[in-house]
Structure 1
Amino acid sequence: MWALAGFLGLTLLVGTVEGIATIPNIKSWYDLLPHPPLTPPNGVFGPVWTILYIGMAVAAWRIWRCGDVLGDHRRALTLWGWQLAVNALWAPLFFGLHRPAIAIGVILVLDGLVAATILAFRRIDRIAGLLLMPYLAWSLFASYLTVGFWWLNR
């Protein structure tokens, strides 16, 4: 269970850091921008990301506890770590530095890493791969929003 707590702590730490970059910029910058269609209310993002981070942590823990199944677990967890690191870059770029154009590049890399992580996880543990599917869906939606914000505010 310590490993699960570690994965949860790491993902929620990333979420906290992103919140620190995001929250001060919501009223002073983000709310003043024209928003793309389908942009959810601000109160949706925190709960959705919290659920996604918990799912990401549980998925990684499931892979970790499998051991070296097919020799893939180290590669799968490395991909997971990379996607988490890239995820941590998006909010500081978009909200903190107000750079949606750069954030587009970051989120497109994130989309690819999440998809690759799902495939790697699925080979080892089907449930772990499935746990990341909502994250990929939300990341793709966030990609649409990021491009939309850039387009409407360039």
Structure 2
Amino acid sequence: MSPEWARIFGAVALPYVGGFLGARITGNKDSANMKWYKELKKVPWNPPSWVFGPVWTYLYGTMGYASYLVWRDGGGFEGAVVPLGMYGASLALNWLWTPLFFKYHLKGWATIEILMYLGVTGATAYLFWPVNQTASKLLFPLLGWISLASTLTIGVLVKNKDKQS
């Protein structure tokens, strides 16, 4: 594998690390976390559970590749420290939501966190734009999905405020 392909692979693979850990936290359909989730009242536009895996698989790949494009065109970490630092913050917030919501059932904190994730990801797309417009545009579907996920999280919070856990 050439060094360039290794960089692409590493950048694309990185988001999947958190996705894999998140999937382990969430568990399969028979896990306690999924049973808890199934019992929650949800908004009518909540997608079926099977949609989340394929969507996140696509989004993790595009966000990883976008980060590679910014790294490449921005002159590495030193040349693109601000946009890549913002991307790192976005990735950390992405990874944090799952344990807050599914493991600890902290609906209020998960709501605050996902809104922060939306803002930081918007800032990431903005900072990617001058470095590589394609990289910025690759984050647009992610922004749309986080927007939807934010409404789902807010909906769970509002519709289940009587449920502690």
Name the TM-score, length of structure 2 as normaliser. Answer: 0.88
Could you tell me which of 114, 118, 142 is aligned with 2:149? 142
Q: Which runs of no fewer than 5 residues in structure 2 stay unpaired?
A: none
User: 2 CA distance for matches of 1:68 and 1:12?
Assistant: 24
Contact 1:72 1:124 in 2 (8 A): no
Q: What is the Cα deviation at residue 37 of structure 1?
A: 1.5
Counterpart for residue 66 of structure 1:
73
Following the alignment from structure 2 to structure 1, what is the Cα–Cα distance between the partners of residues 75 and 9? 21
> In the TM superposition, what are the counterparts of 1:2-151 in structure 2 within 5 Å?
2-23=6-27, 24=31, 25-26=33-34, 28-68=35-75, 73-151=80-158
Could you tell me whether the CA contact under 8 Å between 2:107 and 2:156 is conserved in 1? yes
Letter in 1 for 2:107: P
C-alpha contact 2:13 2:61 (8 A) present in aligned 1:
no
Residue deviations 1:52-75, cap 9 Å, x none? 000000100001111339x86211
- 8 Å contact 2:74–2:131 — kept in the other structure? no
For 2:121 and 2:57, how far apart are their aligned partners in 1?
17
Question: Tell me, which stretches of 5 or more residues in structure 1 are unaligned?
Answer: none
Rounded Cα–Cα distance in structure 1 between residues aligned with 2:132 and 2:12: 19
Q: Deviations over 1:83-110 (max 9, x none)?
A: 0001110010001111111101110110
| Conserved 8 A contact 1:83-1:114 | yes
State the aligned residue count.
152
Per the TM alignment, residue 10 of structure 1 is displaced from its structure 2 partner at its CA by: 1.1
| Identity percentage of aligned residues | 37
Q: Which runs of 4+ in 1 moved over 3 A?
A: none
User: How many angstroms apart in 2 are the aligned matches of 1:54 and 1:6?
Assistant: 11
CA distance in 1: counterparts of 2:62 and 2:146, whole angstroms = 14
Q: Flag the structure with higher helix content.
A: 1
Letter aligned with residue 92 of structure 2:
A
Query: Radius of gyration: which is bigger?
Result: 2
